[in-house]
Amino acid sequence: MKIIMLGAPGAGKGTQAKQIAAKYDIPHISTGDIFRANIKNGTELGKKAKEYMDQGLLVPDELTCDLVMDRIQEDDCAKGFVLDGFPRTIPQAEALTAALEKIGQKMDFAIDVDVPDENIVNRMSGRRACLECGATYHIVAIPPKQEGVCDNCGSKLVLRDDDKPETVQKRLDVYHEQTQPLIDYYNKAGILKSVDGTQPMEKVFEDITNILA
């Protein structure tokens, strides 16, 4: 079962990807994890990726795709895998499709966790973080016991720059420009499935498992 998770930043696709991986006993693969593992292990691909990252440059699509293909051919991916955060663009999607075809494989599902922008801005601007211990809260969904104070260590909670409405909207604009076209791409490929990401997390997960059943 080979799955790609799609959805805007803040839609909750990472959380769902982890749950899918746990339920079906398949690896949850994010490009960030792959980069870190290859750099840590000093692989050839890792060294190449590090050269770009050290200069503050994006790792080229071809190299990213090579790293992903390298990962999904490991033994633990024999039953499948969940890709989270890749592909992000049409060129990456085309590179992945071509690379999989070469080894006689293809993706089975592209699952879009669909959440309107307005909901995402509200959801993310309600986040609060403790810079001391790393705990995260949400003023509505997971409020701290005392407003503005971390339950764990008593430090002040802050709204991170990343979660400010204007920053979230910029990230969403980039998503719509670069990543939204993937929805059409995988729809044409006949593997796109959409779930309503505004529902409670448990219900979103239930809808996804019904698709995968």
Q: Does residue 156 sit in helix, strand or coil?
A: strand
Task: Give the residue extent of every domain in the chain.
Answer: 2-115+173-212
pLDDT tens-digit profile of 148-188?
999 999 999 999 988 899 999 998 998 899 888 999 999 99
pLDDT tens-digit profile of 55-107?
888 889 999 999 999 999 999 999 999 999 899 999 999 999 999 999 999 99
Mean per-residue pLDDT of the chain: 93
**Band (128; pLDDT cuts 50, 70, 90):** very high
Nearest to 191 by CA among 14, 1, 29: 1
Annotated catalytic residue: which of 18, 164, 171, 193? 171
Q: Two tokens at 45?
A: 């691909």
Annotated catalytic residue: which of 2, 71, 123, 127? 127
What's the confidence (pLDDT) of residue 32?
83
Establish whether 203 is a catalytic residue.
no
What's the confidence (pLDDT) of residue 47?
94
Q: Two tokens at 60?
A: 């080229």
Report pTM: 0.84
Q: Two tokens at 40?
A: 């840590």
d(CA 29, CA 96): 14
Establish whether 106 is a catalytic residue.
no
Average pLDDT score over residue span 4-16: 92
Establish whether 127 is a catalytic residue.
yes
Annotated catalytic residue: which of 13, 71, 123, 128? 13
Annotated catalytic residue: which of 23, 36, 79, 160? 160
What's the confidence (pLDDT) of residue 20?
97
Establish whether 40 is a catalytic residue.
no
Class of domain 2-115+173-212: alpha beta
Annotated catalytic residue: which of 71, 88, 123, 128? 88
Establish whether 71 is a catalytic residue.
no
What's the confidence (pLDDT) of residue 63?
92
